[in-house]
Amino acid sequence: MFQVQKSPEVHDVVVIGSGAGGGTTVKVLTDLGMKVTLLEAGPMLNPNKDFKEHVWPWEVDHRGVGPNAENYFGKDLYPFGYFLAPNGYWDIPGEPFTVAPGSEFKWFRSRILGGRTNHYGRISLRFSDYDFKPQGFDGLGTDWPITYDEMSPWYDKAEEFIGITGTHEGLRSAPDGKFLPPIPPRVHEQLIQRAGKKLNIPVIPSRMAMLTKSIHGRAACHYCGQCGRGCRTASAFSSSQAMIFPAMKTGLLTIISGAMARELLVDSAGQVNGVSYVDKATRTDKVIRCKAVVVAASACESARLLLNSKSPKYPNGVANGSGEVGRNLTDTVGHAVAGIIPALEGTPRHNSDGIGGMHVYVPWWELDKKNKDFPRGYHIEIGGGFGMPQIGSFRNTAAKAGGYGPKLKEEINRYYGSQISFAGRGEMMPNKHSYCEIDPVKVDQWGIPVLRFHWQWSDHEVKMVKHMHHTFTDMIDAMGGRVTSPDIPEFTAQSVSVGGEIIHEAGTCRMGDDPKKSVLNKWSQAHEVPNLMVVDAAPFNGNPDKNVTLTIVANAWRAAAHFAEEFKKGNV
């Protein structure tokens, strides 16, 4: 017989999701002495066992291609490679989503303690003043109910805790923060800096969540460049290692892993008073009673949970009186171009690992330019250097060189390290055609109704990608290089990354002062349900070209500090 297990205990605060938003909430609340219960849909994380840091390909019999040669046949057994940290999936068996006809969308979901922070790129950029108040800047988009100046002290806290490299540049498009020392640019990055100088494009030290010196008991980086594999010394930031593990030692945190939230429960006054979740291991439904809920399940998963929490009081889903839950969905505009640079061929060999990812990057540089044909801008991420050889590393070189024997070896040696890449990461303007909603008929293996996505790029994004493509091509030309990416004769929506592909979803529970037009207030509390908060990227009113994670942490920190005060006063 189907029986829901209910425990009579009433928990103080239940946090749903353990990534950047959930991890920050757990840290801030337990630091303030509050009791927290954390629900995570995936398993616990054991870095010493789960991270494949420093493993050579030959230590694995399949060398990383997958135990059944999956990668050779284009199957994504490991979305970003076998050696990366356990992170999540593009497709979770038994947990589908649907995409409306005419739309294309990819949805990456993490199911592990720490969520995507275990593997993310760790690029950590503050949003600018105009990102919070775009109406007075160019009249597009929606103002946030908070200003940059209000957010700035929380950015300070986030940066000082996470540890972020960088330099003071005084750029409006890339506000300075509390930085750790930067890391020297690699050879190809110095060449790109010269190209930038020629083209008047600034190439500045990158802002990355890796420790160039030890802070808060976390060891300094040892420069193996494998941050994406997960860092056993926690020298690269993850919410699991830097926030949740320390919180476990306070005795104030209870973690329930393998717990897939089904629905938020409300009392007769319309306040949240519990969470119904699936205990995946036993396939049983359980109910946990609580005084407040913080949802941080990732923008779309959080929207799904709210929309699925229907009751007579909230027939369209809890906190959805405005009808805005699931709306205003955005992702980052992505486009990349690669090239071969003859000047780099035969570079004297050296260890170029450094920190995982780029040591320099290009912040948006045409903020004041008039007559642009697209709004806002993008930053440029840079790739190159002597990477650890992996399955597939030399496939293109071998195909191009042809032949075999010592000559093929020579060619592979010559081209190694001469390839560079530019990836644009730009701002998408929210549009009414891009949103998620509950699919009217489909449920997942837990019986939870799934999301259906609608997606459309606008002309803004297409024109931005065209600008990216020409800029990257010009940079490669300036270095005397040859573009290896396909030429794009005509730019269309197909030239832009697929929606969701850059994994920066935001906007599905936007914040605002007007309850008719927004889901949350300026403290990330639901207008209609003050003891319910959402603290991932769902509250964002826009999705600037400054990757979401740092702002998730700063906003969650600010929200949690405010919530703790209200909770202690008995207001929530």
Partner 1 sequence: MEHTSRRELFKIIGSSIVLTTSGSGVLSPALAQHVHNEVAAVKSLSGGANYVPKQFTPHNFETLKTLSEIIIPGASDAGAAEYIDFLSSRNDELAAIFNGGLAWVDHYMEKNYDADFLKASATQRTELLDKLAYPANVTPATAQGVPFWTWARNMTVDAYYTSPAGVKDIGYMGNQVLGSFSVPQEAVDYVMQRSPFARQA
Q: Least distance in Å: CB of 26 to partner 1?
A: 13
Q: Least distance in Å: CB of 553 to partner 1?
A: 17
74 sits near partner 1 (criterion: CB under 8 A): no
User: Cβ closer to partner 1: 253 or 329?
Assistant: 253
Q: Least distance in Å: CB of 231 to partner 1?
A: 8
**Helix, strand, coil percent values for the chain (each to nearest 5):** 25, 20, 50
User: Cβ closer to partner 1: 393 or 445?
Assistant: 393
- Characterize 430-456 residue by residue with b for buried, 16 or more Cβ atoms within 10 angstroms of its Cβ, and e for exposed: bbeebbbbbbeeeebebebbbbbbbbe
Residues 6+ apart with CB under 8 A from 562: 523
Span near partner 1 by CB under 8 A; candidates 14-22, 244-252, 423-431, 523-531:
244-252
Q: Least distance in Å: CB of 416 to partner 1?
A: 5
User: Cβ closer to partner 1: 67 or 447?
Assistant: 67
User: Cβ closer to partner 1: 6 or 400?
Assistant: 400
CA distances from 176 to 64, 101, 185, 424, 486 (A): 39, 43, 19, 21, 36
> Which token pair is 44?
């616990």
Over the window 204 to 243, marking each residue x when it contacts partner 1 by CB under 8 A and - when it does not, the resulting string is ------------xxxx-xxxxxx-----xxx------xx-
Measured at the alpha carbon of residue 228, what is the angle toward residues 222 and 232, in degrees to the nearest 5?
Answer: 50
122 sits near partner 1 (criterion: CB under 8 A): no
Q: Least distance in Å: CB of 81 to partner 1?
A: 12
Helices 549-569 and 148-162, packing angle to 10 deg: 100
Please identify which residue in 102, 268, 404, 486 interacts with partner 1, judged by CB under 8 A.
404
432 sits near partner 1 (criterion: CB under 8 A): no
Please identify which residue in 389, 459, 482, 514 interacts with partner 1, judged by CB under 8 A.
389
420 sits near partner 1 (criterion: CB under 8 A): no
Closest by CA to 449, choosing from 109, 111, 95, is 95
145 sits near partner 1 (criterion: CB under 8 A): no
User: Cβ closer to partner 1: 247 or 464?
Assistant: 247
406 sits near partner 1 (criterion: CB under 8 A): yes
User: Cβ closer to partner 1: 239 or 555?
Assistant: 239
Widest CA span in the chain: 78
Please identify which residue in 8, 74, 94, 402 interacts with partner 1, judged by CB under 8 A.
402
The residues facing 236 across adjacent strands are: 210
Count CA atoms closer than 13 A to 488's CA, side-chain side.
21
Span near partner 1 by CB under 8 A; candidates 59-67, 138-146, 422-430, 442-450:
59-67
What residues between 285 and 344 interact with partner 1 by CB under 8 A? 342-344
Asked if residues 19 and 239 have their Cβ atoms less than 8 Å apart, the reply is: yes
Span near partner 1 by CB under 8 A; candidates 28-36, 365-373, 478-486, 518-526:
478-486
403 sits near partner 1 (criterion: CB under 8 A): yes
58 sits near partner 1 (criterion: CB under 8 A): yes
Span near partner 1 by CB under 8 A; candidates 130-138, 297-305, 391-399, 426-434:
391-399
254 sits near partner 1 (criterion: CB under 8 A): no
182 sits near partner 1 (criterion: CB under 8 A): no
CA dist 451 and 430 (Å) reads: 19
User: Cβ closer to partner 1: 183 or 428?
Assistant: 183
Q: Least distance in Å: CB of 421 to partner 1?
A: 17
Which 8-state DSSP code applies to residue 171? B
Q: Least distance in Å: CB of 418 to partner 1?
A: 10
31 sits near partner 1 (criterion: CB under 8 A): no
User: Cβ closer to partner 1: 54 or 372?
Assistant: 54
CB atoms within 10 A of CB 250: 15
CA dist 319 and 270 (Å) reads: 10
Asked if residues 168 and 125 have their Cβ atoms less than 8 Å apart, the reply is: no
Q: Least distance in Å: CB of 359 to partner 1?
A: 9
CA dist 59 and 237 (Å) reads: 27
Q: Least distance in Å: CB of 357 to partner 1?
A: 13
CA distances from 76 to 71, 144, 226, 435, 501 (A): 7, 38, 20, 26, 14
Q: Least distance in Å: CB of 18 to partner 1?
A: 14
CA dist 111 and 86 (Å) reads: 9
The residues facing 533 across adjacent strands are: 294, 525
CA dist 257 and 265 (Å) reads: 20
Q: Least distance in Å: CB of 555 to partner 1?
A: 23
Counting residues that bind partner 1 (by CB under 8 A) gives 85
Please identify which residue in 378, 394, 422, 523 interacts with partner 1, judged by CB under 8 A.
394
The residues facing 349 across adjacent strands are: none
What residues between 344 and 383 interact with partner 1 by CB under 8 A? 344, 346-355
- Characterize 25-53 residue by residue with b for buried, 16 or more Cβ atoms within 10 angstroms of its Cβ, and e for exposed: bbbbbbbeebebbbbbbbeebebeebbbb
Q: Least distance in Å: CB of 511 to partner 1?
A: 32
Residues 6+ apart with CB under 8 A from 120: 549
Over the window 184 to 203, marking each residue x when it contacts partner 1 by CB under 8 A and - when it does not, the resulting string is xxxxx-xx--xx--x-----
